Structure formats: structure tokens, C-alpha cells
Chain A
Amino acid sequence: MSSMSWVVSDSWTMTRRELAHWARQPVRIVVGLVFPVMLLLMFNYLVGGGQGVDGDNTEFLVPGMLALTMAFGLESTMLAVTQDLNKGVIDRFRAMPMVSGSVLVGRSIADMLQSAAALAVMTGVGYAVGWRWHHGPDAALGALGLLLLLRFAMLWIGIQLALVAGKPELVQAVQILVWPVGFLSNVFATPGSMPGWLGAVVEWNPMSATATAVRGLFGNPGGPGGTWASDHAELLAVAWPVALIAVFLPLAVRRFARIGR
């Protein structure tokens, strides 16, 4: 077999490992799916929000919560990789003739499957509370694609952070930090309702670009627009994640291969 087919076969073996972990611990998966749903319901019914929105609050909130869930995936990937790196089995993987990066590829495939499941559950719950898409299935699929692209970028940032930090205590710090970064976006309020400088920061947050683009594709209400970033949200929703992936994926693969040097 060629080396490319070893990449595929080793990555699949590592993905199977993650799936086997799920099969043995279904509760963990369920908790992972329930948490964002809980957030969605909480913000929809308890917090209100939707400041500066030109339309129905639930229609505004659901796409934002989908983007937030994808972004928070950074933290779950970082936790999983950190735990893995601190296990003895990583030494065995590293001393074997397998394709070294396949450990990371297996992780990323498993996390993407988990995120796709999370999107399915959340859009289902969103539907139940009154959210709808209005521009047909193709646009809706495009929106889901942009969400998964954001997740994929967050995944590689999470892997790189885990490889650099390497300690469970630092995961906790990141778990706290994702909240302010997550809220510095247009998930819960439009930038127009914020002080000027803060609105600018929020507009250029990659998560905001994805949320705005996804709202547009679903036909859900967003902010009033009128700024460059909000008018080019779809471009930014592709460019941001692609740029992040282009930086962090090679860094992480290289860093993993160089453990022990």
C-alpha cells in the first residue's frame, strides 16, 4: 500500500477508537448534546436578549447558538487531546510505525461527527421552539456547511493549544475564557446596540461572521448591516476558518510529530 492509503487506514483506525469510546460511554455523548440545547432554551425563554434585532428573537437566536456551539467545540477538543496526551497509550502509538498525524486526524473526524450530531439535535429543538429556515434546503445545507467549517477551524486551534499547554489545569482556564470570547460576538445582540469600538471587535469575531452568514442563508433576521464586515459575512465566514485552519493544522501536526524533541 502507498503511504497515502496508510494515512487513510490509520486515521480510520484512530476514528474507530473514538467511536468505541462513545459506545462504552454513551452518557458522555448525551451530556455533550444536552448542554448546548439547554443553553439554547435558557437564552430563548429566560434571558430574552436579541438587542437591536429587526425581527423574531428566536429566529435570531438559533443560528447564533449554532455558531456558539461550534466555537465552544474548541474547548472540548482541547480537553480530549490533553487527556489523551497524558495517557500512556500515546507512547505506544508514537513508538509504532503508524502514520503519526493519524492520531490527530482520528480525533478530528470523531469531533466533526459529534458536532454534526449536535447540529442535528439543536436544529430539531430549534424547530420545536419556532425557528424555521426560509430559503430552501440548499441554502440551509450551505449554512450547516459553514458552521462545520467553523468547528473544523476551532478543532485545530484546540489541538494546538492542547499540544502547547499540555496540562489539564490549563484546559480549565480555556474553558472559562471561551465564554467572554463567545459573548464578544453577535450571537446574543447586534453590534449596532454596543459602544462603537466594542461593536467593531464583535463584528470581526470569526464567530460573528459565521452567525451573520448563516442567518442570511437560513433567511433569519440579523442586525441592520451596513458595515463592510456585515455586508461580506459569507466571504468572511469562509475566509476566517480557512485562514485559521491554514495556520493551526500544520502547526499542530508538526508539533505532534516533534513531541520528545
Chain B
Amino acid sequence: MTDAIVVEGVHKRYGDKRALDGLDLTVRRSTVHAVLGPNGAGKTTAVRILSTLLRHDEGRVEVAGFDVRGRAGEVRRRIGLLGQYAAVDEELGGRQNLEMFGRLYHLGVRRAGTRADELLARFGLADTGRGPVKEYSGGMRRRLDLAASLITDPEVLFLDEPTTGLDPRGRAEVWSAVRSLVGGGTTVLLTTQYLEEADQLADRISVIDAGRVAAEGTADELKAMVAGDRIDVVVRDGSQLVAAAQLLGDGAVVDADRRLIGAPAPDRMATLTRTVRALEEAGIEAEDIAVRRPTLDEVFLSLTDRRPERAEVAA
């Protein structure tokens, strides 16, 4: 089985600025792949190249088995694109938009109309009436945009920061739509700066920074790659924080406000047992004690040296 997306050593410069600096990416069919990175890492440039909107300077890019430069027409027949900004005609109505796109995908006049109605129903937009899209809410506009990306049941769907600027409800709507698509065999490449989004949706994640891949793997692999497990201890009496931190040894980090000490836990259960015993002997009462994997936040920070946008948890 061939891969849905192959990107090898891709470079793209804007004048002196290197937007992509040797990007590599392979996405297997019918999987969700997240490209995670801070602003300016090259995520949007990569999506624009993959969706034939922008030409790269060097390297190989294949989508659905076709070269994006030489066989752009074949690629366009097989992809859907949900860009960062709504790519629909704001002055037309929702159905008018979908019908127009259907005709331009060469479905034929009648099929374009029935397909528009199917998609409106599927995305809960059947009752929006004839008003122009500019009067839609952000979430409705996003769903219409997503519907427009799915007119031909694309083999490969690109989602460029699909939930940026949406409220938690809009975000949850987009997430559930993406999950239902993957069940249908579509390959999804999604960019995001929300770690939680990558964790929730993606089979594999590429962390990119400064136009190249800093790390790649499943969410669990990435967490394991960067740092070992951690132990968190919350003490009841704040005055005992320093004493407790000394018991946890080198690498202990104290968060005084939460009365919390975090430290590496290289051998998980053994560390836990040892810590519990040591605290007891020192007469320090623990409110909570737990061993956990590092968060993607910690992975991201250590890989990119930059602070990600804080993900707000979807309701």
C-alpha cells in the first residue's frame, strides 16, 4: 500500500526567509497525522505546498500518488482543503456555495445540487435559509467550509489549524466531524498549535520548528522520547516543601503555590515506593502523590524552545 503523502527534503524560501528547510513527512493512508508547531514554524507553508497552492523550491512532494508540481490537476481531484480562513464566498448563501463548488468539481448540475443538500444536512446546516455566509456564526462558517472540502469525498484532506478562533463548542463540532471522516477511509493531515488537539485526533504527530521536523511519532512515543516518567508530590504543610524536595533528589522542581514538587521517576513504581517511605520517615504528610507520563506541553517546550499557545480544554 502506497503512502497518501510523501514529503522529502522540501525547501521553500521567501526572499531571505526559510519557511521550509528540509521538511520530511510520510503519512500512511487512512490515518490522521498532526503537524504540530509554534507560529511561524512553516505549518501553513507546508499545507499550501501539499494542496498545490504554492510551489516549493526543492524536494519531492507527492499526494495520493501524484507529484504536486507535475500532476497538480490529478492531485486537486483527490484532495479537500480547509484553510485557516474560511474559503467560501461570504456574499452567497450556504447552499449556493456548495452547489457552485460541486459544479466546479464537475459533478454535473443535478448531482451538485443533491450533494449540496446531503452535506448541509450532515453538518447541521439544512435550516440556515438563504442568508449570506457573512451572517453565519464562526462555528457555522467553519462547518460550511468543511462541507465544501468534502464535496468529492477526498482521498486526502488538509486541515490547516481547523479550530483556531473557535469557541469550545465549535472546536468540539470540528473534532467530531474529523473523527467520523477517518472512519470512512480519508487520510487527514492537520496542523495545529494546540497540543491537546494533536493528542486527541492524531495517530501520529510531527513536531516541526523552523521549517523542519524536530520529532515524529505517536503521542506516547513523543512523550517517552523527550523525558522519562515524572513523580508529583503535594504536601499538606507548605513549610515542609524544601525538606520534601531534598528527599526527591536532583531534578526536583518546586511549585510553592500548589505545594507541589515534581521530579523524574526513572523507575516508576520503585521511585514511588521509595518516596512514600522516605516521606513517612521524615514525618512529612503528603496530600497527593502520583507517577505520570510527561504532558505533550513538556515535550513541545523541550523540542521547540518556544512557548506554545495554551490549549483551552474543549467542553
Set of chain B residues within 8 Å of A16, measured between Cβ atoms: 100
28 A-B pairs with C-beta separation under 8 A: A1-B106, A9-B106, A10-B104, A13-B104, A17-B89, A17-B92, A20-B96, A21-B91, A24-B92, A87-B89, A88-B83, A88-B87, A88-B88, A89-B87, A89-B89, A91-B81, A92-B81, A93-B104, A95-B81, A96-B104, A97-B76, A97-B77, A97-B105, A97-B106, A98-B104, A98-B105, A98-B106, A261-B55
For the complex of A and B, 7 pairs with smallest distance between CB atoms: A92-B87, A98-B104, A88-B87, A88-B85, A97-B76, A260-B54, A261-B55
B161 CB to nearest chain A CB (Å)? 13
Cross-chain contact B104 with A94 (CB below 8 angstroms): no
> B247 on the interface (CB 8 Å rule)?
no
> B103 on the interface (CB 8 Å rule)?
yes
> A6 on the interface (CB 8 Å rule)?
yes
Question: Footprint of A on B, CB under 8 Å?
Answer: 48, 51-55, 73, 76-77, 79, 81, 83, 85-92, 96, 100-101, 103-106, 132, 148
The complex places the Cα of A17 from the Cα of B105 at a distance, in Å, of 15
Set of chain A residues within 8 Å of B104, measured between Cβ atoms: 10, 13, 93, 96, 98
Cross-chain contact B92 with A20 (CB below 8 angstroms): yes
Cross-chain contact B92 with A88 (CB below 8 angstroms): no
A146 CB to nearest chain B CB (Å)? 33
Q: A95-B52, A260-B48, A260-B53 are in contact. Are A17 and B100 (CB under 8 A)?
A: yes
A residues contacting the other copy or chain, number (CB 8 A): 25
B65 CB to nearest chain A CB (Å)? 16
Cross-chain contact A24 with B87 (CB below 8 angstroms): no
Most buried by B among A21, A89, A90, A261: A89
Interface of B is mostly: loop
The complex places the Cα of A9 from the Cα of B103 at a distance, in Å, of 8
Most buried by B among A6, A90, A94: A94
Set of chain A residues within 8 Å of B90, measured between Cβ atoms: 87, 89
A246 CB to nearest chain B CB (Å)? 27
The complex places the Cα of A17 from the Cα of B53 at a distance, in Å, of 22
Set of chain B residues within 8 Å of A20, measured between Cβ atoms: 91-92, 96
Question: Footprint of B on A, CB under 8 Å?
Answer: 1, 6, 9-10, 13, 16-17, 20-21, 24-25, 87-98, 260-261
Set of chain A residues within 8 Å of B51, measured between Cβ atoms: 95
Cross-chain contact B92 with A21 (CB below 8 angstroms): yes
Set of chain A residues within 8 Å of B91, measured between Cβ atoms: 20-21, 24-25
The complex places the Cα of A217 from the Cα of B104 at a distance, in Å, of 42
Set of chain B residues within 8 Å of A13, measured between Cβ atoms: 100, 103-104
Set of chain B residues within 8 Å of A94, measured between Cβ atoms: 52-53
A210 CB to nearest chain B CB (Å)? 33
Known: A89-B90, A260-B53. 11 other contacts (CB 8 A): A13-B104, A16-B100, A20-B92, A24-B92, A92-B88, A92-B101, A94-B53, A95-B79, A96-B104, A97-B106, A260-B55
Set of chain A residues within 8 Å of B54, measured between Cβ atoms: 260-261
The complex places the Cα of A25 from the Cα of B89 at a distance, in Å, of 14
Set of chain B residues within 8 Å of A90, measured between Cβ atoms: 87
B206 CB to nearest chain A CB (Å)? 22
Among candidates B73, B83, B105, B132, residue contacting A91 with C-beta atoms closer than 8 Å: B83
The complex places the Cα of A16 from the Cα of B101 at a distance, in Å, of 12
Most buried by B among A90, A98, A261: A98
Set of chain B residues within 8 Å of A88, measured between Cβ atoms: 83, 85-88
Cross-chain contact B76 with A96 (CB below 8 angstroms): yes
Set of chain A residues within 8 Å of B53, measured between Cβ atoms: 91, 94-95, 260
Set of chain B residues within 8 Å of A261, measured between Cβ atoms: 54-55
Cross-chain contact A96 with B83 (CB below 8 angstroms): no
Q: A6-B106, A24-B91 are in contact. Are A92 and B85 (CB under 8 A)?
A: no
The complex places the Cα of A261 from the Cα of B55 at a distance, in Å, of 5
Most buried by A among B52, B87, B90, B132: B87
The complex places the Cα of A98 from the Cα of B86 at a distance, in Å, of 19
A163 CB to nearest chain B CB (Å)? 16
Q: Determine the residue in chain A with the shortest Cβ distance to B131.
A: A24
B51 CB to nearest chain A CB (Å)? 5
Set of chain A residues within 8 Å of B76, measured between Cβ atoms: 95-97
A120 CB to nearest chain B CB (Å)? 25
The complex places the Cα of A96 from the Cα of B48 at a distance, in Å, of 13
Q: Determine the residue in chain B with the shortest Cβ distance to A25.
A: B91
A238 CB to nearest chain B CB (Å)? 35
Q: Determine the residue in chain A with the shortest Cβ distance to B79.
A: A95
Q: Determine the residue in chain B with the shortest Cβ distance to A1.
A: B106
Q: A91-B87, A261-B55 are in contact. Are A96 and B101 (CB under 8 A)?
A: yes
Set of chain A residues within 8 Å of B87, measured between Cβ atoms: 88-92
The complex places the Cα of A259 from the Cα of B53 at a distance, in Å, of 8
The complex places the Cα of A93 from the Cα of B92 at a distance, in Å, of 15
Q: Determine the residue in chain A with the shortest Cβ distance to B50.
A: A95
Set of chain A residues within 8 Å of B132, measured between Cβ atoms: 24
